[in-house]
Amino acid sequence: MERSYGWVIVGVGALMNCIAIGAMMSLAVFLAPMAEATGWSRAGIGVASTLNFVFMGIATFAWGALSDRFGPRIVVLLGSLILTLGLAVASNAASLVQFQLLFGGFIGVAAGSFYVPMISATTAWITRQRSLAVALVSAGMGMHPLIVAPSARWLISAYDWRTAMLVMAAAAAILLIPATLWVRRPPPVALPSSQPGAIGTAAAEPPSLTALEAFRTPQFVTIALAYFFCCAAHSGPIFHMVSYAMLCGIAPMAAVSIYSVAGLSGLGGRIALGLLADRVGAKPVLATGLLVQALAIGTYLLVGQLGEFYALSVAFGFAYGGVMPLYAILVREWFGAKTMGTTFGAVTMASSIGMALGPSAGGWFYDHFGAYTWLYIVSLTIGLAAAAIAFAFPAGKRADVGLRLKPAA
């Protein structure tokens, strides 16, 4: 019973991330309708998404530390309440600045409360097939283009953007708040890690580094930089994917379907690369995935037809979705379980800063040049830098890191 409950944590984590990240990323679907209805600029609306990631990054670090101390349940409950409130008040924003602060602040803080605590809980509950388990929690994020984005587009078409956002607030409360009751801390006594699905403990692994020890290692710096450049590369192309397709003459619902195809492919990428990482290790899979992501971003400059968008979205989604869970695996392997929430929260904060750059930068490029060409050129360059950093990840064993950090006798 105890062993199998770890997979309940996986399922709950996937649901929470689907709804929370879906609510935040749905702004990409709201972008064009909001601009038309209000007269607000795309760059201005994109600032709300930038603030999402800034606030999420800061909050993620704090939520991760709180989950280490108090457990994940109280963290995800507070996040559920803040997310519901944020969507409700943002739907009634009277000005662009008000919308930027309400949507950017509330939704960003709330979204940061789910991913790190639930990933940390998952790595504590499950030892065997840990990469797969983390990938499945992360897959919830990949599901939002298939569920939340089409639902938002349908609501906007049937009503208007304000009503659609208010309905999303009600749905978030109905789904998330009861789900928090299923979240538990892992038990202190574990089964041997050789048993399938067994719970992991410090006894079965090398001792964890403290957060300060982890922050001082080149491994931490490299993981954080790779995550930053990875997200800085794909955030703009993801956020402006629907708008770019519409500029190429694709109908609105078909454009959203391109976004959904990328999400479905990302779901497959998370599972496939998670399974592969369990076999060959997270580092080579991450580095290769980042290279594929960069090349896919550059290829967007060459497409214009619906079929071409679908094909490219499969490759792009598979790559950017597949690499996302691997950072958590590297953090757990190198720094251990005790401060997983804090260390992974710090790494995720770096990624959120990277994510913050793309939406507003893409809007700025479009507003100034009337096209997204420079967005894809810059994103391709940043993506290649992410791959290079991942290939340069320091070699060695985690035990060696711990020894280097110990004072000399």
Q: pTM of the full predicted structure?
A: 0.71
Supply the pLDDT for residue 190: 45
Q: How far apart are CA 35 and CA 44, in angstroms?
A: 9
All structural domains of the chain, each given as residue ranges with its CATH number in brackets, are: 2-185+207-395 (1.20.1250.20)
Supply the pLDDT for residue 408: 39
Supply the pLDDT for residue 62: 86
Supply the pLDDT for residue 395: 53
Supply the pLDDT for residue 187: 67
Judged by phi (left if over 0) then psi (alpha if -120 to 50, else beta), residue 370 lies in left
Supply the pLDDT for residue 182: 92
Supply the pLDDT for residue 188: 61
Supply the pLDDT for residue 262: 87
Q: How far apart are CA 259 and CA 59, in angstroms?
A: 27
Supply the pLDDT for residue 383: 94
Give the chain's residues under pLDDT 50: 1-2, 189-203, 396-397, 399-400, 402-409
Is 46 in contact with 359 (CB distance < 8 Å)? Answer: yes
Tens of pLDDT, residue by residue over 32-55, are 888 888 888 877 887 888 888 888
